[in-house]
Structure 1
Amino acid sequence: MGRGQRTRLALLLGAIIALGPLTIDMYLPALPSITADLLTTSATIQLTLTGTLIGLALGQLVVGPLSDALGRRRPLLIGTAVHALASALIIVAPDVAVLGGLRVLQGAGAAAGAVVAMAIVRDLFTGRAAATLLSRLILVMGAAPVLAPTLGGELLRWTQWRGVFAALAVYGLLLIPLAAWGLRETLPPERRRSAGLRNTLRTYRGLLGDRTFVGLVLVAGLAMAGLFGYISGSSFVFQEQFGLDQQQYGLVFGAGAIWLIAATQLNPALLRRFEPRQILVAAMSGGTLAGLVLFATSSTGIGGLVGLLVPLWSVLFATGLVLPNAPALALSRHGEAAGTAAALLGAVQFGVGAIVSPMVGVLGNDALAMGTVVAAAMVLALVVLFAVVRPSRLGDLDDAAAVAAAH
C-alpha cells in the first residue's frame, strides 16, 4: 500500500472512529438547555450520557466477535446506519425517557466503528506500520472527546439542542457511502472465526482469567472514568457555577485537548528512553497527585477557575500517557485474540464511564462533585496498578507494547 493510500485510509478510519466520541460529547454544552426544555433534572439528563456509554460498551462486546465472523464491512455499515437512524429520531424525542433510550441505540451503532477501525488496521498492517496508524486512531479517540463540546458549542450559536443531533445524523449518513466505497473487505473468509456463542464465551473467559490483563484493562477504564467524570459534570460546573456561556464553555473545554494531545505526541519520544511500564507508573502517579490537588482546590475554592483548571488539565495530560500504554501492555498478552481483546478493553472503558458519569450529578453537579469523582478514579487506578497488575511483572511485555504504543 502506497503512502497516499495509507493517508486516505488513516483519514477515513479516523472519521469513522470519531463517531463515538462526537456522539458522546457534542451535546454537552446543551445539557442545561435540554434539562429545561424537557422539564427534568440535571441528574436525570446526565443519565442520557450514561445510556450512550452503555450502548457503546455492550455494542463493542457484540460487534467484536461478529466482525471476526462476518468480515469488517457489514457490521460497520449496519452499525453506522443504526446510529444515523437513532440520531434522526432524537430530533423529535418528546421526553427524557425516549431521549435516553435512543442514546443507548446511538451508542450501540457507534460501537461498530470503534471496533472495526482497529480490526482493519490489524488486518492490513503489522509491526511499526500498524503501530503508526493505530497511534493516530488513539489520538483521535483521545482528542475527539475533548474537542467535541467546542464543536457543539459553536453549533449552538445557530441552532437549538436538537440541531446537534441533526448534525450527528448527517455525519453518520455521510460515513455510510464513504465506508462502502472507500473500504474494501480486509478479512477474507478463510481467516474468519466461528460466530458461535460458545466460542465467543470461551474467548472472553480466557481473557478474564488473565489477572494482569484484567488489571491493565481496569487501569485504562478507571483513567477513562476520570475523563468521563470531568466530561459529565463540566457543562454544569463551568456554565452554572462559574457563569461561562455555551461558547466560552466550549473553548475552555477544548483547551484541555492541548494537554491530552501533547501527552500522546510526547509518548513516542518517551518510549525511546523508557519502558512502557515505567511511563505508565509515572503517569498514573502524577495523575493521581493532580487529582488529589483538584479535590483540594474544588473543596476549598482556592484559585477560583484557574485553581480548578490547572490540576484538571494535569490529569488530562497524565491520562494522555496512560491510555496508549496500558492498552498496549494489555493487548500484547493476547495477540491471538486481539479483536476480541480490544472489544473487551473498549467495553470496560465505556462501561466504567457509564457507571461513573451519573455520580457527578448525584453528588451535586458542582466543582467539588466533579473533583471528587476525578480524584477517586485516579486513586483507584493507581491502587489497581500496584495491587493487581504489579508493574514488576510487566518487564517481558515492554518490547511488544512499545511497538503498539509508539508513534
Structure 2
Amino acid sequence: MSKQKYFFLILILGSLTALGPFSIDMYLPGFPAIAKDLNTTAAKVALSLSSFFIGISAGQLLYGPLLDRFGRKKPLYAGLALYIAASAGCAAIHTIDGLIALRFVQAVGSCAAGVASVAMVRDLFPVKDSAKVFALLMLVVGLSPMVAPTVGSYFTEAFGWPSVFLTLGVMGALMLVACVLWLPDTYTPDTTLSLKPLPILTNFWSVLREPQFYTYTFAGAMAFCGLFAYVADSPLVFMDIFKVSTKNYGWIFAFLSIGLIGSSQVNSYLLRRFQSEQLVFWALVCQVLTALVFLLLTVNGWIGLGGTIALLFVFLCCLGFSSPNTSALSLAPFTRNAGSASALLGAIRMSMGALASMGVSVFSNHTAVPMVAIMTVTSVLALLILVLGRQTIRVQVAVSDMLEPVH
C-alpha cells in the first residue's frame, strides 16, 4: 500500500470515527441557548447527551451483524443517510423532548460510521499495524474536541444553536459522498450469517467469552468512563462553577484534547520499543494515581481553575495511551466476525460511558466532586479488571504478531 493511499484511507476512516464525537462536542457550548429557546433547564438539555450515548450503544449492536452479513458499505450508507435526516430534524425541533428523541436517532445513524471504520481497520491493515492505525485514527478523532466546541460556540453566537445541527448534517453528507467515491469495499459479505435474534446473540456470545476480548474491552471501557464524566459535566464545571465564558470554554476544551491526541501519537513511537500490554498497564496505573490526587484536592477545595485544567490534561494523556492499545488487543483474536467484535466493543464502551454521564447528573451538587469521584472509581475498577482478567488469558494474540490470527 502506497503512503498516499495509506494516508487517504486513514483520513476517511478517521473522519467516520470522529462523526460521533464531533456530534457530541460541537453542541456543548450551546446548552444555555438551547435551554432558553426550548423553555427548559440545562440539566434537561443534558439528557439529550445521555440519549445520544444510549443511541450509539444500541446502534453498535445493530450494525455489527449487518456489517458482517451485507458487507461494510451498504449499512454504512444507510446509517449516514439516517444521520443526515436526524441532524436536519434537530435543527428544526421546538421541544426538548423532541430534541432528546432525535438525538437518539442521530446517534444510531452516526454509530454506523464508527463501527464500520473500526471493522475496516481489521480488514485493511495487518494485525501488527492495528495499534498504530488506531492511534492515527485518534489523531483525526482528536481534532473533534480541539475544533468542535470552539466552532460550535462561534456558530451558536453568530447564527443560533440550530446552525450547529445543520453543519453536522452537511458533514454527514460530505462523508457519504467520500465513502461512495473513494472508500474501497473491504469485506466479502458472509451470507451464512443469520440476522435472526438467536444466531446474532450466539455470535455476540462467542465474541464475549473470549478472555482476551472481555479483559481489554471492559478494562478499556471502564477507563474511558472518566472521559464521558468529564464531557458531561464540563459545561457545569467551567461555565457555571468557574464562570468561564462560552468561547473560552471552547478553547479550554480544545486545549485539554491536546493531552488525549498528543499522548496517542507518542504511543505510536513507544510501540516500537514496548508491547501494547505493557503500555496499557502503566497508563492505567498513572490514571489511577492522577484521579486519586484530583479527588483529594477537589473534595477539600484545594484546587482552582488552573489546577483542574492541569489534572484533567494529565488524565486525558493516560487515556491516549490506554485506549488505542485496549482496542487493538480486544480485536486481535478475530477475523471472520470482526464486525460483531468491533460492534460489541463499541456498545460496551458507550453503554458504560452513558451510565457515567448520567451518574454525574444524578449526583450533581454544584461542585466538581461527582465528576472527579466517577473518574476515580472507574479508573480503579479498570486497573482491577485488567490485572484479574489477564490471569484468564491462556494464549494471548499479540498486536505485534506477524501472522493473522484465526478465530
TM-score over 0.5 (shorter chain): yes
Shift in alpha-carbon separation, 1:125–1:212, aligned structure 2, 3 A: closer
Rounded Cα–Cα distance in structure 2 between residues aligned with 1:16 and 1:274: 29
What CA deviation, in whole Å up to 9, does each residue of 1:41-88 have, x standing for no partner?
A: 333221111111111111111111101111111111110010011010
- 2:312 corresponds to 1:312: yes
- 2:138 corresponds to 1:115: no
1:174-253 matched pairs, under 5 angstroms: 174-189=174-189, 191=190, 193-197=192-196, 198-253=198-253
- Residue 143 of structure 1 deviates from its aligned partner by 5.0
Q: Number of matched residues?
A: 401
Rounded Cα–Cα distance in structure 1 between residues aligned with 2:75 and 2:341: 18
What CA deviation, in whole Å up to 9, does each residue of 1:88-137 have, x standing for no partner?
A: 01112121111010000000000111111222333333245555444322
What CA deviation, in whole Å up to 9, does each residue of 1:352-372 have, x standing for no partner?
A: 111111222222253122212
Shift in alpha-carbon separation, 1:188–1:337, aligned structure 2, 3 A: closer
Rounded Cα–Cα distance in structure 2 between residues aligned with 1:103 and 1:383: 34
- 2:367 corresponds to 1:366: yes
Shift in alpha-carbon separation, 1:134–1:259, aligned structure 2, 3 A: closer
More displaced stretch, 16-25 vs 145-154: 145-154
Q: Is the 8 A contact 2:259 2:316 kept in 1?
A: yes
- Residue 242 of structure 1 deviates from its aligned partner by 0.8
Q: Is the 8 A contact 1:332 1:401 kept in 2?
A: no
Considering fraction of residues, name the structure with more helix.
Answer: 1
Give 1:376's aligned amino acid.
Answer: V
Unaligned runs of 5+ in 2: none
Counterpart for residue 323 of structure 2 = 323
What CA deviation, in whole Å up to 9, does each residue of 1:302-336 have, x standing for no partner?
A: 23111212221111011111101222222223344
Shift in alpha-carbon separation, 1:152–1:80, aligned structure 2, 3 A: same
Q: Is the 8 A contact 1:332 1:397 kept in 2?
A: no
Counterpart for residue 97 of structure 1 = 97
More displaced stretch, 280-289 vs 119-128: 119-128
Shift in alpha-carbon separation, 1:260–1:299, aligned structure 2, 3 A: same
Shift in alpha-carbon separation, 1:305–1:292, aligned structure 2, 3 A: same
Rounded Cα–Cα distance in structure 1 between residues aligned with 2:127 and 2:40: 51
Unaligned runs of 5+ in 1: none
Counterpart for residue 57 of structure 2 = 57
More displaced stretch, 205-214 vs 292-301: 205-214
Q: Is the 8 A contact 1:225 1:377 kept in 2?
A: yes
Give 1:135's aligned amino acid.
Answer: A
Counterpart for residue 277 of structure 1 = 277
Scaled by the length of structure 1, what TM-score is found? 0.91
- Residue 142 of structure 1 deviates from its aligned partner by 4.9
Q: Is the 8 A contact 2:263 2:321 kept in 1?
A: yes
- Residue 28 of structure 1 deviates from its aligned partner by 0.8
Rounded Cα–Cα distance in structure 1 between residues aligned with 2:32 and 2:85: 25
Counterpart for residue 396 of structure 2 = 397
Give 2:372's aligned amino acid.
Answer: G
Shift in alpha-carbon separation, 1:359–1:35, aligned structure 2, 3 A: farther
Give 1:36's aligned amino acid.
Answer: K
Give 1:203's aligned amino acid.
Answer: N
Rounded Cα–Cα distance in structure 2 between residues aligned with 1:72 and 1:230: 32
Rounded Cα–Cα distance in structure 2 between residues aligned with 1:366 and 1:140: 32
More displaced stretch, 269-278 vs 109-118: 269-278
Q: Is the 8 A contact 1:131 1:403 kept in 2?
A: no
- Residue 396 of structure 1 deviates from its aligned partner by 4.8
Q: Is the 8 A contact 1:262 1:317 kept in 2?
A: yes
Counterpart for residue 382 of structure 1 = 383
- Residue 211 of structure 1 deviates from its aligned partner by 4.2
Rounded Cα–Cα distance in structure 1 between residues aligned with 2:168 and 2:52: 14
- Residue 151 of structure 1 deviates from its aligned partner by 2.6
Q: Is the 8 A contact 1:38 1:95 kept in 2?
A: yes
Rounded Cα–Cα distance in structure 1 between residues aligned with 2:78 and 2:101: 19
Counterpart for residue 4 of structure 1 = 4
- Residue 239 of structure 1 deviates from its aligned partner by 0.6
Give 2:168's aligned amino acid.
Answer: L
More displaced stretch, 331-340 vs 260-269: 331-340
CA RMSD in angstroms comes to: 2.3
Rounded Cα–Cα distance in structure 1 between residues aligned with 2:268 and 2:396: 17
- 2:165 corresponds to 1:165: yes
SS at match of 2:214: helix
Counterpart for residue 348 of structure 1 = 348
More displaced stretch, 376-385 vs 337-346: 376-385
1:5-154 matched pairs, under 5 angstroms: 5-128=5-128, 132-142=132-142, 144-145=144-145, 147-154=147-154
Give 2:367's aligned amino acid.
Answer: D
Shift in alpha-carbon separation, 1:402–1:245, aligned structure 2, 3 A: farther
- Residue 145 of structure 1 deviates from its aligned partner by 4.1
What CA deviation, in whole Å up to 9, does each residue of 1:210-234 have, x standing for no partner?
A: 3442232111111221001000000
Percentage of matched positions with identical amino acids: 34
What CA deviation, in whole Å up to 9, does each residue of 1:9-54 have, x standing for no partner?
A: 2222222221111111111111122223222233322111111111
Give 1:273's aligned amino acid.
Answer: R
Shift in alpha-carbon separation, 1:171–1:66, aligned structure 2, 3 A: same
Rounded Cα–Cα distance in structure 2 between residues aligned with 1:397 and 1:179: 34
SS at match of 2:40: coil
Shift in alpha-carbon separation, 1:271–1:84, aligned structure 2, 3 A: same
More displaced stretch, 197-206 vs 230-239: 197-206
